[in-house]
Amino acid sequence: MNRKKTYCFTAIVGQEDMKTALILNVINPGLGGVLIRGEKGTAKSTAVRALAELLPLRRQVKGCRFGCDPDDAAHLCDECRARLERGEILEAEEQPMRVIDLPVSATEDRVVGTLDIEHAIKTGEKKFETGILAGANRNILYVDEVNLLDDHVVDVLLDSAAMGVNTVEREGVSYSHPAAFILVGTMNPEEGDLRPQLIDRFGLSVTVAGEHEVERRVEVLENRLKYENDPEAFFQEYEPKQAELRARISEACARLPKVTYSRAVMELIAKICIQLEVDGHRADIVMLKTAVTLAAYHGKDQVEKEEILQAARLALPHRMRRRPFEDAQFDFSRIEELLRE
Amino acid sequence: MKRVVYPFAAVLGQDEIKKALLCNLVNPMIGGVLISGEKGTAKSTLVRGLEALAGSQRLVELPLNITEDRLVGSIDLSRALLEGRSVLEPGVLWEADGNILYVDEVNLLSDHIVNTLLEVAAGKQNVVEREGISCVHDSRFVLIGSMNPEEGKLRSQFLDRFGLYVEVQGERDPAARVEIMSRRLEFERDPLGFLEAYREETARLQRAVTKARELLPKVEVTENALALAASLSENVHCCGHRGELATVETARALAALDGRRMLNTEDIREAARFALAHRAREIAPGTALPPEGEPDSREDRDRQDQETQQEENQEPAENPDKTPEEERNQDSEPQTSEEQEKPAEQQDSENTGEESGRREPSRQISDGEDREGDFGESEEVQESGEAFEIPRWQEPPAFHRVNQGAGKRTLVKSDNHQGRYVGYRTAGGEKAEDLAFDATVRAAAPFQKNRKKNGRAIAIEKADMRLKIREKRTGGCILFVVDASASMGANRRMTEVKAAIVSLLNVSYQKRDRVGLIAFRKDGAELLLGITRSVDLAQKRLAELPTGGKTPLAAGLDLAYEVIMGLKMREPEVQPVIVLVSDGRASGKKDKNSNPFAEALKSAERIGNQKIRTIILDTENGFIRFHLCGKLNEKLKGTLLTMEELRSDGIIEAVKGYAAPLA
C-alpha cells in the first residue's frame, strides 16, 4: 500500500512555534521530542503527520529490525553488535525517518514487544516479537491524546524515553533493545493533565491556539478547501515550498555538528534556569541543545542571544517548578532582562 | 543490550548519593539505598554508572512492567517442549543474587511484584514453586531504588527495606550547571571517547572500592559507637532495629572508604543521616516525612542538617571522651526539634515565610470577622485557605474486607482486559477469556511427551489454561458536593472548606483520581465540573465558587445521584465517592408542602440505598449545633467528619484512608 499523503506541512498557516519545534527535532533527534498542547482543531495532529513528508534520509543497517545506525557503535542492538564482533560488515542502506503511531488504546505487550506465541508453539523455541518501541528506534514516536494514555504504558515510555533502551522482562522473555525515539505528543489540556514525570521527558513544549485574525482564518479555510477539492493539485502547488524546506533541513543537519557555543552562552542558560527554578538539569541541557539546533537551522555557526531566547521559549515552560494547582505563568520578561545584562 | 553509560566519575556534585551508593558497594550488609528527588538530577545515571565500579558485581535492572514469571523464574519453555524436561529458567531474582538490583521509578512498581520482592528481600531466598518446578535458590542483592516523589509514595513496609535514603536536588551554582551541561553534550557527541577520557578516574574509584572492601572486615565497632547509633535511632522514634543496624554498617563502610580501621562518632552521625531519615516515625501529624517528598520537609531537613553541621563545627571533630549520654542529648536537637512538635498549621506558615511567592500566605481561619450581615442574596468569592498536608495514609485494615478484595485505591485488579499483566492464575472452571498464552504454554510444556497431539505441535488441555492477572492504576473518582449558600460565607467558613477540599485534591492529584464538583446554592444545584482527570480544573472552579442565597441541599444530592449513576453505567468497575460538604441545614424547597430537610433526607436515602460511598464533611460550628448531618448520615450510611476532626490529629488520615480504597 502506498503511503497516503496527509497534508502539506508548509501549507499550515501560522503556528510557527509548533512548526519550529517539530523541525528542530528532525534536525537534531537528540532534543527529546515535543509536547504540543492546544484546543481541538488547531492542526496539531495534522502538523505531526505532515512532518512525515519532510523527513530526511539516513543510513541504517540493512535488515536490522531496530534500524541501527551503522556509524554509531555505542548504540547498536545485540544482533548488530554480534555481527560486528563476528567480523561481518554491516551493510547500510538509506531510509527516511518515519512517524510511528502509538495509539492510545495500544496494549502494553504491543508497545514493548512480547513472546512470539506462534513461533513458540510451532518450534518450541522462544523468540522475542518486537513491539511498537522497536520500530520507533531512531524514528518519531507519535502519541495523539498523550494525556489519555494508560498509566502503565506511560511508565514504560518513561524509561525508554530517558535511556533510549527498551528492557523487557515479561511473559517469559528477557530482552533489551535500543529504542531511542523522538517522542511527539499532542494533547488537549481540557481533558486532563500529563504526569509530571512524563512531561519532563519531552524536550520541548509548545502551546497552540486557533488563529484569531479573520484574514488568517480565511487563509486556513482556503487551504483546507483546496486540499479537499483536489489533493493532487494541492500537493503540486506546495511542492516547491516543501522541497525548499527539505533542503533547509538537510543543510541544517549537516551544519549541526559544526555549531559552536561560548562559555558565556552556557552561563546565561544556567542563570536563566536557576532564576526560573526549573527542576533538575534536564532543562539546561535541552535548552543548550535547542539553541545549538536553532543556530544550525538559522544557518549560523555560533549560538547567539536570539537562539537562547527562542530556546527558552521552547524548552522551559513545561519545566517550571510549580505546586499542583498553581497556574504556570511563564514570564519572559525575566529572561529578556537576563539577556540584556 | 549492552549500553554505554555516562560514567559515575563524570557526574558533578551529588556527593550524598555517591557516598551512599559507594557504601553499598563496599558493604552489602547495609541493605541498599533509595534515592528520591526531582526529575533530571542524575539519579538513574549515577546508579547505572555504579556497575563500572562494582568489580565482579553486576547491575541487574528490574523494569516496571516485569511479569511475575520473569521475576521469580519459570519453566524453561524450549527445553520442556523439545526435551520434555522441567528445568528452571532463572528469573531476575536469580540474576540479582550477589549483585545489585535496581528499580527505577520504584514507587510505580505494581503491588503484586512489590510483595514478591519484599518477601525475597526479607528471606534472602527465592522459592520457586510453579509449573512443576520446585526449587529454592539464594537471592541476596543490594536493592537500589530511585523515584520522583511527585508520582506518589512508597509503602512504608517497602521503604523500610532500603538501608539508606538520600534526597537529591539540582545544583544551584551557575558554574557547576555549566560544567554539567558541557559534560553531557560532550558525552552525547562522542560517548565512547567520553568514557575513555574518564577511564583513569573510574579506575581510581574502582580501586578505592576494592581497597575498602578488603579493609571492611577489619573495621572495629566500639561499644560507644553502637550506643550512639542506638540512641540516635531512638531519638527519631525509629521502629525496629533496622535503622541502627544500617547506621552501624554504613559507618563501617565510611571508615573503610576513608582507609581507617577505627570508627569515629563522625562516621556514625554521617551514617545516621542516611539511615534514619526515612525511618523516623511521625511525631506530630502534619510533619511530613522525607519520603513524602514535600518540598517543605526537604527544606526542613536541610536546615536541620545545617544546624547539625554548625553544631559540629563548633566542637572538635572527634571527641572520643564523650559519653553516649552526652551524644544523645546533643543529637536530640536536630532531629526532634520543637519545630516538629508544633502544630502543622504553624509550621506551614513558617515555611510560607521562607519560600515567599510559592504559596499563598496562610489565612487565619476564624479571624473574628462578623459576616452575619452578608446573609441574603449577596455573593462573594472566598479564596481557599492554606491547604494542609494530608499525611501518608494508612490503610485501615477493615477496608479490604469491605471492598470485597477489590484492592486499594491505586491498584485495581482489573477484569476487563485493561491494565498491566503482572501474573497469572489457573482458569479453573472459568471461561478462558484473557488467556495468558505464555503461561498456558509453559504449563502444558512438561507433559508434551505423553500427550496425544492429534497433528498439533503442542497439546494444550483445559487444566493448562492460565488467565492473566492484571493490575490497573485507576485512581479513585471523587465527586464533591459543596454547600455554597450564604451561610457558608459566614465567618469565612468557605475559606476553611476550600482548604479542606484543596487538601483532598492534592492527594487526588498524586493518585491521579478523577474529580467532579457540584455546588448547590440559590435555586438549585449546578454541576460546575463534570467528572474529569483535570484536578487543576477542579481547583480553579472551586476558587471561583461564589457563595450566597438559599441552601437547596436536596437538589445538590439529587444531582450528585444522577452524575454518579451515569458514571456507574458507563464504567461499572469504578467505585465513586461523594464528598458532601455541608452543615446539613437546608432551605428553599422543591414543593410548597414539604420541608427542605425532609426532602434532603429523601434524596440522601436514595444515595444510601445504592450503596454509593459517601463522606460528609460537617461544617457546622459554633456553640449551638443541630447535628443535622448526623441525621443525614443515617440515610447516607457514610462517614461523618467534622471540620475540627479534619484539622485535628489523626482524623485526616482517616479520611485519607477512607478515600484510599475507593477505586
- Give chain A's residues under pLDDT 50: 1-2, 323-328
What mean pLDDT comes out for the span B235-257?
84
Tell me the average pLDDT of chain B. Answer: 73
Query: Is B373-397+474-662 the same fold as B8-203?
Result: yes
Domain B373-397+474-662 listed as CATH 1.10.10.60: no
Residue carrying C-alpha cell 514453586: B129
Give the residue from B98, B178, B166 showing the smallest Cα distance to B137: B98
User: How far, in Å, CA of A133 to CA of A127, rounded?
Assistant: 17
What mean pLDDT comes out for the span B35-48?
87
pLDDT digits (tens, 9 = 90+) for B378-394: 555 655 555 544 433 32
**Domain range enclosing A287:** 258-340
- Using a CB–CB cutoff of 8 Å, tell me whether A197 touches chain B: yes
Whether residue A312 is contained in a domain is answered as yes
Q: Which of A147, A178, A208 is the last residue of a domain?
A: A208
Please state, for a pLDDT cut of 70, what percent of chain B lies above it.
69
User: How far, in Å, CA of B314 to CA of B557, rounded?
Assistant: 64
Cell of A48: 505531526
Whether residue A262 is contained in a domain is answered as yes
User: How far, in Å, CA of A180 to CA of A139, rounded?
Assistant: 8
User: How far, in Å, CA of B275 to CA of B278, rounded?
Assistant: 7
What mean pLDDT comes out for the span B617-634?
78
User: How far, in Å, CA of A130 to CA of A81, rounded?
Assistant: 18
What mean pLDDT comes out for the span B221-225?
83
Q: Which long-range contacts (CB under 8 A, 24 or more apart) does B457-466 make?
A: B457/A121, B457/A122, B457/A123, B457/A124, B458/A121, B458/A124, B458/B81, B462/B427, B463/B426, B464/B440, B465/B426, B465/B427, B465/B432, B465/B435, B465/B440, B466/B424, B466/B425, B466/B426, B466/B427, B466/B435, B466/B436, B466/B439, B466/B440
Are B44 and A324 an interchain contact pair (Cβ–Cβ within 8 Å)? no
Give the least confident one: A83-97, B102-116, B301-315, B571-585: B301-315
Are A193 and B77 an interchain contact pair (Cβ–Cβ within 8 Å)? no
What pLDDT is recorded for position B486? 78
Instruction: Provide the 10 A C-beta neighbour count for residue B544.
Output: 9
Q: Are residues A201 and A292 in the same domain?
A: no
Whether residue A229 is contained in a domain is answered as no
Which residues lie across from B639 on neighbouring strands? B615
Give the residue from B16, B110, B115, B128 showing the smallest Cα distance to B74: B128
- Using a CB–CB cutoff of 8 Å, tell me whether B277 touches chain A: no
Q: Are residues A160 and A279 in the same domain?
A: no
Are B74 and A172 an interchain contact pair (Cβ–Cβ within 8 Å)? yes
Cell of A261: 557555543
Q: Taking a contact as any Cβ pair under 8 Å apart, which residues of chain A between 272 and 331 contact chain B?
A: 273-274, 279-285, 288-289, 321, 323-325
Q: Are residues A165 and A271 in the same domain?
A: no
Q: Which of A327-331, B129-133, B282-286, B346-350 has the highest mean pLDDT?
A: B129-133
User: How far, in Å, CA of A168 to CA of B97, rounded?
Assistant: 19
User: How far, in Å, CA of B298 to CA of A44, rounded?
Assistant: 39
User: How far, in Å, CA of A28 to CA of A297, rounded?
Assistant: 10
Which residues of chain B make contact with A178, given a CB cutoff of 8 A? Answer: 1
Q: Are residues A38 and A134 in the same domain?
A: yes
Asked if B233 and B247 count as a contact pair (C-beta separation under 8 A), the reply is yes
Asked if A170 and B67 count as a contact pair (C-beta separation under 8 A), the reply is yes
Which residues lie across from B88 on neighbouring strands? B75
More confident position, B631 or B432: B631
Nearest to B181 among A30, A172, A269 (CB): A269
Cell of B43: 539519579
Strand (E) or helix (H) holding B144: strand B142-147
Asked if A133 and A160 count as a contact pair (C-beta separation under 8 A), the reply is yes
What mean pLDDT comes out for the span B353-376?
37
Cell of B319: 571527641
Tally the domains of chain A.
2
Are B178 and A266 an interchain contact pair (Cβ–Cβ within 8 Å)? yes
What is the dihedral sign for C-alpha B269, B273, B278, B283? positive
Mutation pick from A201, A262, A279, A293 vs chain B, by most beta carbons of B within 10 Å, is A279
User: How far, in Å, CA of B60 to CA of A318, rounded?
Assistant: 33
Q: Are residues A24 and A103 in the same domain?
A: yes
Whether residue A121 is contained in a domain is answered as yes
Whether residue A184 is contained in a domain is answered as yes
Provide the CATH topology of domain B8-203: Rossmann fold (3.40.50)
Cell of A122: 510451532
CATH number at residue A116: 3.40.50.300
What is the dihedral sign for C-alpha B369, B372, B374, B380? positive
CA distance B136 to chain A (A): 19
- Using a CB–CB cutoff of 8 Å, tell me whether A193 touches chain B: yes
Please state, for a pLDDT cut of 90, what percent of chain A lies above it.
23
**Predicted confidence band of residue B650 (pLDDT cuts 50, 70, 90):** very low
At position B662, the amino acid (one-letter code) is L
More confident position, B478 or B590: B478
**Predicted confidence band of residue B435 (pLDDT cuts 50, 70, 90):** confident
**Predicted confidence band of residue B343 (pLDDT cuts 50, 70, 90):** very low
CA distance B525 to chain A (A): 23
3-state SS of B590-630 is CCCCCCHHHHHHHHHHHHHHCCCEEEEEECCCCCCCCCHHH
- Using a CB–CB cutoff of 8 Å, tell me whether B512 touches chain A: yes
At position B28, the amino acid (one-letter code) is P
CATH number at residue A300: 1.10.8.80
The SS3 assignment for B147 reads strand
Task: Write down the domain spans for chain B.
Answer: 8-203, 219-345, 373-397+474-662, 413-472
Give the residue from B598, B596, B603 showing the smallest Cα distance to B580: B603
CA distance A283 to chain B (A): 8
Are A78 and B174 an interchain contact pair (Cβ–Cβ within 8 Å)? no
Nearest to B104 among A124, A159, A191 (CB): A159
Whether residue A119 is contained in a domain is answered as yes
Ramachandran area for residue B256 (φ above 0: left; ψ -120 to 50: alpha; else beta): alpha
Q: Which of A180, A208, A236 is the last residue of a domain?
A: A208
Complex confidence, ipTM: 0.83
| pLDDT tops 50 at residue B450 | yes
- Using a CB–CB cutoff of 8 Å, tell me whether B436 touches chain A: yes
Nearest to B534 among A193, A273, A283 (CB): A193
Q: Residue A282 catalytic?
A: yes
The SS3 assignment for B136 reads strand
**What one-character DSSP code corresponds to residue B305?**
H
Q: Give, to the nearest 10 degrees, the angle between helix A332-340 and helix A305-315.
A: 160
Which residues of chain B make contact with A189, given a CB cutoff of 8 A? Answer: 534
Q: Are residues A115 and A173 in the same domain?
A: yes
Q: Are residues A174 and A303 in the same domain?
A: no
pLDDT digits (tens, 9 = 90+) for B104-144: 988 888 888 888 888 888 888 888 887 777 888 888 899 99
Strand ranges of the sheet holding A140-144, from the earlier edge strand across to the other edge? A99-101, A140-144, A182-187, A34-38, A204-208
Cell of B268: 556514625
Q: Give, to the nearest 10 degrees, the angle between helix B596-609 and helix B628-636.
A: 30
Mutation pick from A69, A145, A169 vs chain B, by most beta carbons of B within 10 Å, is A169
Give the least confident one: A8-17, A218-227, B327-336, B539-548: B327-336
> What pTM was estimated for this model as a whole?
0.71
CA distance B249 to chain A (A): 31
Which residues of chain B make contact with A190, given a CB cutoff of 8 A? Answer: 534, 537
Q: Are residues A154 and A47 in the same domain?
A: yes
Dihedral angle over CA of B308, B286, B276, B168, nearest 10:
-80
> What are the angstrom distances between the C-alpha of A10 and each of A15, A246, B518?
11, 10, 46
